[in-house]
Amino acid sequence: MKEMEKAIEKKIEESCNCGCGGKCSCGWKKALCGVGFAVLGAGVVALIGYVAMLLWNWLVPDIIGWKAINYWQALGLFCLSCIFLGRFDGCGHGKKCNCHCDCKCKDEQPSGATSE
């Protein structure tokens, strides 16, 4: 029984990166961070597609004589340009995207606090 409890404690410690033995509240922060980045990323892509459409419809019909495009065509052109220019990995230049968790353990006291 003790071996099983130790194995479970070890698994919990391994799942939490701050070394507090699974007593921190990192999980919800990482999930919230991931959702926030997803929403922000979707907003940025939508904005870039809209700006690409506006620029195309403002410049290209007058300069080259081609017809105006809609939002989805502009977004498709943006995706194609990302693929052709090699910047479609999400972070640019092959860097790894990280959301750092600055979690504090539940048992940890703020600096300067004394236990009585």
Look at residue 35 and tell me if it is in a domain.
no
Look at residue 75 and tell me if it is in a domain.
yes
Task: Encode the chain (116 residues) as per-residue pLDDT tens digits.
Answer: 678 777 777 766 666 555 555 555 666 777 778 888 899 999 998 999 999 999 999 999 999 999 999 999 999 998 898 888 886 555 455 555 555 555 555 555 555 555 54
Closest among 58, 56, 89, 87 to 72, alpha carbons compared: 56
Domain range for 50 is 44-89
Look at residue 49 and tell me if it is in a domain.
yes
Q: Given this model, what pLDDT does residue 70 score?
A: 94
pTM score of the predicted model: 0.50
Look at residue 66 and tell me if it is in a domain.
yes
How many domains would you assign to the chain? 1
Look at residue 82 and tell me if it is in a domain.
yes
CA distances from residue 92 to 18, 50, 74, 76, 97 in whole angstroms, order as listed: 28, 21, 21, 19, 9
Rg (CA), the chain: 24
Q: Given this model, what pLDDT does residue 30 score?
A: 76
